[in-house]
Amino acid sequence: MAYGSITDIDMTSGMQGLFYYLNHETSGLFFPLIFFGLFIIIAAASWYKTQDFPAALTLSSFSCAIIGLFFRFGGFIKTSFLVLLIGLAIMSFIFLLLTKNRRI
């Protein structure tokens, strides 16, 4: 498979042109991998601080869903991936509510 040159992309549009090139050359995997890394970093930092895994999972999934909304408005990720992020946020919130030994 031959990779396209960055000169084939209209770079006058700013960062959107660069992001389009990166996402195009990685077959649409650039931003999902960025979100996976962001999810892991937020979850690990939150878990390290609170020692509460369900809360860390919920925080990281909601953060990725909110950031994903902005990226979807910019046209950087597909709607199906945004639905996956929102579904993950909902499932982690349900997991948070169902865990035992929670104080309200």
| Residue 69 domain flag | yes
| Residue 7 domain flag | no
**Domain containing 70: what range?**
28-98
| Residue 75 domain flag | yes
Question: One-letter amino acid identity for 63?
Answer: S
| Residue 15 domain flag | no
Is there a contact between 81 and 89 (Cβ–Cβ < 8 Å)?
Answer: no
Tokens, residue 20: 């389009």
Per-run averaged pLDDT (10 residues), the chain, 104 residues: 66 76 84 94 94 92 96 89 96 89 58
Looking at the 3D structure of the chain, how many domains does it have? 1
CA–CA gap between residue 65 and residue 48 (Å, rounded): 21
| Residue 19 domain flag | no
State the distance between the two ends of the chain, measured CA to CA, in whole angstroms: 56
The pLDDT of residue 16 is: 79
| Residue 71 domain flag | yes
According to DSSP, residue 100 is labeled: S
| Residue 22 domain flag | no
In this prediction the pTM is 0.81
| Residue 45 domain flag | yes
